[in-house]
Chain A
Amino acid sequence: MSLEVKTNVAPSKTKVMTMKRLKRREKIEGWLFVLPFVISAAVFFIGPLLVAFMLSFKEYSYLDMVSMFEAPWVGLSNYINAFQDSTFLRALLNTSLYSLGVVPIQLFIALVLALIVDLNIKGKTFFRVAYYIPTVTSTVAVSVMFLFIFKTDGILNKILSFFNLPPYNWFGDTRLALPTIMMMAIWSSVGLYMVIFLAGLQDIPMSLYEAARIDGASKIQEVLYITVPLLKPTIFFNLVVSLIGTFQVFDQAFVVSNGTGGPLDSTMTVVLYLYKTGFRDFQMGYASAIAFILFAIIFILTLIQRKFFGEETEF
């Protein structure tokens, strides 16, 4: 403020100066406010990301006496090896199957549940909470619980035997292990997507439904022609989040197979394989390359989805 007194320029010019000063101050303040985030993002996210990218072109293990910056470069061979590695390809297939199974079923169930708890029914708060609880439960705890349900003398086989059906060795059978994990994933995360759908549903103006009702639309028509189209951004969001989540599946496969991905690689997922190569086989460079292949896949899939679901919706 003292500057204003000292200068003898025209008042209008002074005003411009202070405006500039204010703008600059605002900028600095703005940066100060976001600084903690910028620093933590740089240290814990961008930095590791760049290092991992570098490692994917190197041969490196944590046990090496040289630092990761001095480790030898191997060019693209980590990436080339990955596509010739039958276990990795199997892991990729398993993960894709898992994703293909889990994402649509999970989102469909979540949408139906959201529509139900959005109605004015008795005890809707109870149902909202009940469906959400699995989401806040640790996946490891969920996996252990499912181990109890699916074990050979577990509840599920007891129910099957009640209907005179033969018991199955759910986690021990090469064809059943992956679907079993899929069921587990759907059950445990459906609540999360339900809550997001619910938020989307409540964003849709009532007036549209009222207008539709005046035009004589049925309940099903209301859902198909108003709810679903207007819910498109939410569906897109859920689709992306759910797809990313399923491609990164690790905990369930780890617990169910004791970290081996067995029986016969039937529960080997990309992230589980990445963990195994990095920490068990001491091939951090190769593991980083796998991580970036996974990143590329998720990125491309997200772009494709954006093409189909991404347009802005206006009310």
Chain B
Amino acid sequence: MKKLIALFTAAVMAVGLFAGSTFKPAKVNAATKKVIRLGVWASSPAESELLDNQIKEFERLYPNIKIQKLVITGDYNQVMQVKIASRTEPDVFYLDVYQAPAYIAKKVIAPLDSYLDKNDVKDFEPSLLKGFTSGGKIYGLPKDYNTLVLFYNKDMFKEAGITKAPTTWKELEEAAKKLTKNGVKGLSLSIDAARFIPFMFQSGAKINDGDKPVFNTPQAAKGLDFYVSLLKKGYAATPKELGVGWNGDALAQKKVAMVIEGGWMIPFMKDAAPNVNYGIARLPKGDKEGDLVFTVAYAMSARTKNKVEAAEVIKFLTGRQALSMTAESGLAIPSRISMGGVYTAKYPERKPLVDMVKYSQVYQFGIKSSKILDALNKACEKLYYKKVKDAKTALDQAIKEVK
């Protein structure tokens, strides 16, 4: 044991020595060149290559600023918290819209307004920017986004004699009913607030009003009821019931005809099921259109010493040039309105993903986001396992839990 500990101490010291020696050249450079550390999470090789190219382009245009990319592996949110607590967070870092309220409330990230051109900011999709705005100040510039859309198996549709993708709840239910046969379910629906909240929006509900949860309305109950009713009637099944990990697997393994997912399905289907002939359609609407949008921004640490340079990095990486690279790559949907056109021109079949953004709200529900989502998930589970008599009761119980 002691030997082990001694060995461990020696190892720690050795690492310390190495770390010390690698830091030196950076310090030498710092005199002539400002170094901006950029914190990102690990992504696919294609996505890292895109970012590397964007960084290369930036360094060519701004020779006095060097970007040092820090890839954070493991649980990004957890690692970032530890880095912030130890005051070693990167100058600029990825921030999921879901985490934004906590980061803003704790003043961990700096407002960017004084570095931004007001006219240029108008080019960002307003619903995305809203997720990073608080008290009239902008705390992050979104780099890309994903909406939820309907992915459907074209062959199954043809076989069932359905000529077009469903556009309303009624059509969705009818299509799901027709497609449920020979061991195949019409739809795969997970018990996940990130999938059923759009249905609540579609029936006219709101989840939160600022930091106050307001999801126990009859409208919200209507949306949740419809979602769970598809499961109860047997036209849909959860990924767990289907014996798969998530909705994507269900479509790839031809266990269902339809799933509700985002743009991440496209590279997944290419790898996992190149033979499945699928189409993308807008999310069917209820009383009105509604959808969730997931987005990530570049945010600036409130403690960075190089605010101006950090702002340049953020502006470039969310600027027209960098985002046109994103659009061309097809890996993500650029967050600028002007670049949405570039994306849909190159990938016309993916237009529904861009179309849905104007009906969408960001995946974020105030400072209590995580509590609200836990409570909503539980409400849906209760309804699904028949622990409550109806959706309204489940939501009434859920709202008490949040408060």
Contact = CB atoms under 8 A, between A and B. Distances in A.
B81 to A, nearest CB: 4
User: Chain B at the A interface: mostly helix, strand, loop or mixed?
Assistant: helix
A139 interface: no
Interface residues of A, number: 29
Given A63-B108, A174-B385, A33 B2 contact: yes
B107 interface: yes
A174 B386 CA distance: 12
A12 B282 CA distance: 100
B382 A264 contact: yes
B240 A37 contact: no
A279 B9 contact: no
A280 B77 CA distance: 8
Given A63-B103, A152-B240, A154-B243, A37 B78 contact: no
Contact of A172 (B5, B240, B382): B240
Contacts of A62: 81-82, 84-85
Interface in A160-200: 169, 171-172, 174
Contacts of B387: 264
A39 B9 contact: yes
Interface of B: 1-2, 5-6, 8-9, 75, 77-78, 81-82, 84-85, 102-103, 106-108, 191, 238, 240-244, 302, 370-371, 374, 377-378, 381-382, 385, 387
B385 A263 contact: yes
Contacts of B2: 33-34, 36-37
B126 to A, nearest CB: 27
Nearest to A277: B370
B176 to A, nearest CB: 19
A281 B103 contact: no
B240 A171 contact: yes
A77 interface: no
Contacts of B374: 260
A305 interface: no
A40 interface: yes
B243 A279 contact: no
Given A36-B2, A63-B103, A169-B241, 18 more contacts: A36-B9, A37-B2, A61-B102, A61-B106, A63-B85, A63-B106, A151-B240, A152-B240, A152-B243, A169-B240, A174-B385, A262-B191, A262-B378, A262-B381, A263-B385, A264-B385, A264-B387, A280-B77
Given A63-B102, A63-B106, A64-B106, A40 B243 contact: no
Dominant SS among interface residues on chain A:
loop
Nearest to B7: A36
Contact of A281 (B75, B191, B371): B371
B84 A63 contact: yes
A169 B244 CA distance: 12
B243 A151 contact: yes
A68 B85 contact: yes
Contact of A152 (B6, B78, B106, B242): B242
B280 to A, nearest CB: 26
A274 to B, nearest CB: 13
Contact of A65 (B1, B102, B107, B238): B107
Contact of A263 (B85, B244, B381): B381
Interface in A127-161: 151-154
A222 interface: no
B6 A260 contact: no
Interface string A38-67: 011000000000000000000001111100
A280 B370 contact: yes
Contacts of B5: 36-37, 40
Interface in A255-271: 260, 262-265
Contacts of A153: 242-243
A44 to B, nearest CB: 9
Nearest to B82: A62
Nearest to B302: A65
What are the nearest 10 A-B pairs in CB distance?
Answer: A62-B81, A153-B243, A62-B85, A63-B106, A172-B240, A152-B243, A151-B243, A36-B9, A36-B6, A37-B5
Nearest to B240: A172
A6 B327 CA distance: 88
Nearest to B78: A279
